[in-house]
């Protein structure tokens, strides 16, 4: 019985990993600046990181994840305390830079 549950759990995990949404890049920002980033190409990385270092736009920790869809449109997900106007500013900047 336990072996069946283990096999089902492993199969569920594998299915979840295959079907979950993948993000092309992730940026973690807080009120001191950029905490971490992944998936950003080197030429764009310097400009993007300098913007986030110069601009203090969040009060807590915010994670920005992005990817392009099948039509080439940039899709962003924001996790954390960030207002709609700031989301739009970041979205506009990323559309122009990436």
Flag whether pLDDT at 73 surpasses 80.
Answer: yes
pLDDT tens track for 8-59: 888 888 887 777 767 888 888 877 777 777 777 767 767 777 777 666 666 7
pTM of the model: 0.67
For 7-23, letters b (16+ CB in 10 Å) and e give: eeeeeeeeeeeeeeeeb
pLDDT at 42: 67
pLDDT at 2: 81
Domain limits at 83? 22-97
Residue 84 resides in a domain: yes
CATH of residue 47's domain is: 3.30.470
Residue 56 resides in a domain: yes
Number of compact structural domains in the chain? 1
């Amino acid at each position: 019985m336990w072996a069946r549950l283990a096999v089902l759990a492993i199969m569920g995990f594998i299915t979840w990993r295959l079907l979950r949404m993948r993000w092309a890049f992730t940026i973690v920002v807080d009120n001191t600046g950029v905490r971490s980033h992944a998936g950003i190409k080197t030429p764009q990385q310097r400009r993007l990181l300098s913007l986030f270092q110069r601009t203090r736009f969040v009060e807590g920790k915010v994670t920005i994840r992005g990817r392009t869809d099948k039509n080439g449109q940039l899709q962003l997900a924001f996790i954390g305390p960030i207002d709609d106007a700031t989301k739009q500013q970041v979205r506009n900047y990323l559309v122009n830079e990436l």
